[in-house]
Amino acid sequence: MTVPLTLLGLLEREPSHGYDLKRDYDTFFGRGKPLPYGQVYSTLSRLARDGKVVVSDVEPGAGPDRKRYVITDRGATEVEHWLTEPVEPEPHLQTVLFAKVVLALMLGRPAEEYLDTQRAAHLRRMRELTEVKRAGGLVDVMLADHGLYHLEADLRWIEMAGARLDALRKAVRR
Distance (Å, whole) CA 37 – CA 93? 36
Neighbour-count burial for 7-46, b at 16+ CB within 10 Å, e otherwise? bbbbbbeebbbbebbbbbbeeebbeeeebeeeebbebbee
Q: Percentage of residues in the chain with pLDDT exceeding 90?
A: 66
As beta bridge partners, residue 67 has: 58
How does pLDDT run across 46-60, given as a tens digit for each residue? 999 999 999 988 777
Residue 91 has pLDDT above 80, yes or no: no
> Over the stretch 7-64, which tens digit does the pLDDT of each residue have?
999 999 999 999 999 999 998 888 778 999 999 999 999 999 999 999 988 777 676 7
Count, residues in the chain: 174
The pTM of this model reads 0.70
Say whether pLDDT at 65 is over 80.
no
Contact present, 52 and 72 (Cβ < 8 Å)? yes
Tally of CA atoms within 13 A in the half-sphere of 144 that contains its CB: 17
Distance CA 54, CA 15 (A): 10
Q: Supply the pLDDT for residue 100.
A: 87
Q: Please, which pLDDT band fits residue 81 given cuts at 50, 70 and 90?
A: very high
